[in-house]
Amino acid sequence: MLAILKKEFHSFFASPVGYLVIGLFLILNGLFLWVFDNDFNLFDYGFADLTPFFQLVPWIFIFLIPAVTMRSFSDELRLGTLELLLTRPITTLQLVLGKFFGALLLLILALIPTLVYVYAIDQLGNPQGNYDQGVLIGSYLGLLFLAATYTAIGIFASTLSENQIVAFLIAALLCFLFYFGFNGIADALNIEILKSLSLQMHFESIGRGVIDSRDLVYFLSITSVFVGLTVLKLESKSVKG
């Protein structure tokens, strides 16, 4: 698995993909948080905290993460190299986890430079340092779990089509459904229990700075389900092959 992880991670930087992902993520955040006149602008927000940042990133992730994962297995299907991968002395689960953690590591790398925003709000606060560290830590932890869940969804979507664009669209649609869709359906049908399936609800819950085991179980469960579905899809393709 470690060899697959390293290969996947290095492949992002063997081409412009890794640099584009990190650069685009930081540029979009920088423009919306500090330059554009919008609801996410930290100067207009009036409080020294990163709430607008944590509201913005899930939107960016919905499009950015599928763009990272769309090639994971789509390329293997298109090039006919999936069968070769499946004959290696590793299990299908190890293969999937290698690609999963390779993509997730790239996203963590993209998040690290945003820690400079913490220094910025520390300096902007009156008095300096007037921000809730618990909320900040919880929100970053929530972003990690959200990135992991989106990555698992994206990896699964990449097994559904040889076409990367199709894989991207499927992943983006599923990410949107799990983050915003269930809330909308729950409100439309007046079925409150559906909100418990919403990534948004659990992400915002962790973002309050209180780590609830129910939120952790939810994120880990959804991630595990899509990793498992990916394994089953690949094994079914292997049997057909």
State both tokens at 27. 């540029």
User: 62 vs 118, which has greater pLDDT?
Assistant: 62
Say whether pTM exceeds 0.85.
yes
| Domain carrying residue 106 | 1-239
Residue 145's pLDDT band (cuts 50, 70, 90): very high
Taking only the tens place, the pLDDT of each residue in 202-217 is 999 998 888 889 999 9
pLDDT at 125 over 80: no
Contact indicator for 117, 31 with CB cutoff of 8 Å: no
Taking only the tens place, the pLDDT of each residue in 30-47 is 999 888 888 888 877 767
Closest CA to 226 of 147, 144, 156: 156
pLDDT given for residue 182 in this prediction: 84
Residue 129's pLDDT band (cuts 50, 70, 90): low
Mean pLDDT of the chain: 88
User: 74 vs 155, which has greater pLDDT?
Assistant: 155
pLDDT at 195 over 90: no
User: 4 vs 106, which has greater pLDDT?
Assistant: 106
CA torsion sign for 207, 9, 160, 164 is positive
What's the Cα-to-Cα distance from 188 to each of 181, 184, 185, 202, rounded to whole Å? 10, 6, 5, 20
Residue 241's pLDDT band (cuts 50, 70, 90): low
pLDDT given for residue 218 in this prediction: 94
pLDDT at 60 over 60: yes
For residues 166-190, give the mean pLDDT. 89
pLDDT at 222 over 80: yes
Q: What share of the chain is helix, strand, coil (3-state, %, to 5)?
A: 80, 0, 20
Contact indicator for 227, 166 with CB cutoff of 8 Å: no
Closest CA to 139 of 22, 51, 235: 51
Total domains in the fold of the chain: 1
pLDDT given for residue 53 in this prediction: 92
Rounded Cα distance between 187 and 164, Å, is: 33
For residues 129-134, give the mean pLDDT. 74
For residues 223-240, give the mean pLDDT. 86
pLDDT given for residue 196 in this prediction: 84
